[in-house]
A = this chain, B = another copy of it.
Amino acid sequence: MIVKNKKDGAFSIEYADGDARAGILETSHGQLKTPFFMPVATQGSVKSIDPGDLEMIGSKIILGNAYHLYLRPGADVVSKLGGLHEFMSWDGPILTDSGGYQGFSLRSLRKIDENGITFRSHIDGSTHFLSPEKIIEVQGKLGSDIMMPLDVCSSLHEEEETVRLGIKRTAEWLQRSLDYKENSDQMLFGIIQGGISKELRKESSEITTSFDMPGYSIGGLSVGEPKAKLYEIAGFTSRLLPKRKPRYLMGVGSPEDLVECVGRGIDMFDCVLPTRVARNGALYTRDGRVNIKSARYREVDDTFDIECDCYSCTKFSTGYLHHLYRAREYLAYRLGSIHNLRFMTRIMNEMRQSIMARSFDEYRTEFLARYSITDESARMDQRKK
């Protein structure tokens, strides 16, 4: 079951268990085992984390953002400094997002028309026009292994016709991206939009898969819809996509989201949550997310999470981690981020193992039975963007 495409890398599914899949994705910077989670290095650095930390964490691929890097330091600067891999001192694969999501999230700062997105820079207010071609050019200079085309991401409150126009533009921009793309070392995925409407997701999937891309992204989810709806639409869309291509659910998510969505056939994830909530003191455990700043941890001499093998848990006591957060020491943010990213890596590895052992359902059931989702953690998830 190997789809070999010399031009665009290759994806092979080694095991499947229900809708869940364990595969191998070939990139210009090495082989990746799916499913995987990508830490987010928006501006060319996973916040408070360095390449050595990523190695300890076991991350094999990271995500950068073309829009942010275009604005600062500029794609030409990154290119002069050897491309994004050399710039960051990261030898592994990199996926770059296009900036389509920023066209959604920085709503007050943009205008979209058929030619592209006009942004006002969040850094200095300067105006920038980003076309599908420009975004491919930027990602070419960055030299990422997997590129995203410019897309139109709709909000939950959009009229059906507006969402449909977004789907149409996203497809037209994909065509323009393909026409413009030159570098054969870089994979380009197609992006499915369509909000929370199954009908529109179906339309977007049909038009996008007609391009026969090396992989497909599901965008426009985790933008405020209920979790049940996120899972339903992710699962529905996933099943519309070709089995033999990798499926990337953009911007998702929390640990429970990963478990739910691997079960629905998703292979790739990215999210700022693990590092962002870590900076607020929210650390993942098998029992759910806990607030390390809580007074109950002040005198705890034990390891924070005895089930965790990360640097923070094996080197320091719970009481020390608590103190670093209370004292607002920079080290807190790094140690918390290492822990949460290691947690994500570990559950992805475990899911892969369970798929290979044909026991994914048991894994999912056990994980979700134990992992408690509190109102507080759900609220923090909503604030993530």
* Contact surface of A with B, Cβ cutoff 8 Å: 43-45, 47-51, 72-73, 77, 80-82, 86-89, 298-299, 301, 315-317, 319-320, 322-324, 326-327, 329-331, 333-335
Contacts and interface: CB of A to CB of B under 8 A. Distances in A.
Contact of A320 (B88, B331, B335): B88
Given A45-B327, A51-B315, 12 more contacts: A44-B320, A44-B329, A47-B330, A73-B298, A73-B319, A77-B323, A81-B319, A87-B317, A87-B319, A87-B320, A88-B320, A330-B333
A279 to B, nearest CB: 9
A50 B320 contact: no
Contacts of A334: 48, 50, 330, 334
Contacts of A327: 43-45, 72-73
A322 B82 CA distance: 15
A144 to B, nearest CB: 16
A66 to B, nearest CB: 15
Given A87-B320, A315-B89, A331 B48 contact: yes
11 contacts: A43-B329, A47-B331, A48-B331, A51-B315, A72-B326, A73-B327, A77-B319, A81-B299, A81-B319, A82-B317, A87-B323
Contact of A331 (B50, B80, B86): B50
A87 B87 CA distance: 36
Contacts of A331: 45, 47-50
A322 B80 CA distance: 14
Given A45-B327, A320-B44, A323-B44, A299 B51 contact: no
Q: Nearest 6 CB-CB pairs, A to B?
A: A48-B330, A43-B327, A45-B329, A73-B323, A81-B319, A45-B331
Contacts of A335: 50
Contacts of A322: 73
A315 B88 CA distance: 9
A73 B315 contact: no
Given A43-B329, A73-B298, A298-B77, A320 B89 contact: yes
